[in-house]
Amino acid sequence: MTIVSPAAQTAPITSQDPVALAKARTSAAAMLADDNGQPHHWRVIVTDTESPTGFAPACRASTSDDVHMIADFHGGPIRDEYGVYDCCPWPQVETFSEPFAAYVVALLNADQGPTGGAW
């Protein structure tokens, strides 16, 4: 697989080159940071497909009990861990694959380092 680095459009990056891959990850981390330059914690989301096949930055508003709730759930109101609401940050990306969405979230959170992305 060949990835063209946004920072260096002159030479393609191959997945077999660990230095080039590290540089691409660094460039992507800066691009994917929040408005304050802080790393996001990423999560799997449910979009129009009604399956956990998307991914997005975790919503900081979701720690409140009055947002991200399914009020009419048959067993009573529950937290909606995978839902997307107006308060949720972008990018929100649909992959159409549960394993692929989980894989991308794992990669993105791993790139945040041992403490980065946690909030």
Count the site residues for Zn ion by CB under 5 A: 5
Between 88 and 108, CB nearer to Zn ion:
88
Q: Least CB distance from residue 45 to Zn ion, whole Å?
A: 10
- Interaction pattern, residues 44-63, with Zn ion; x per rule: CB under 5 A: ---------------x-x--
Name which position in 4, 22, 87, 118 contacts Zn ion (CB under 5 A): 87
64 alpha carbon, distance to own chain's centre: 20
C-beta separation of 76 from 31 below 8 A: no
Tell me: does residue 96 bind Zn ion (CB under 5 A): no
Which residue has its beta carbon closest to Zn ion? Answer: 59
Tell me: does residue 88 bind Zn ion (CB under 5 A): yes
Tell me: does residue 85 bind Zn ion (CB under 5 A): yes
User: How is residue 113 written in tokens?
Assistant: 């380092």
CB-based burial, 45-81: b 16+ in 10 Å, e otherwise: bbbeeeebbbbbbbbeebeeeebbbeeeeeeeeeebe
As a whole number of angstroms, the distance between CA 92 and CA 117 comes to 17
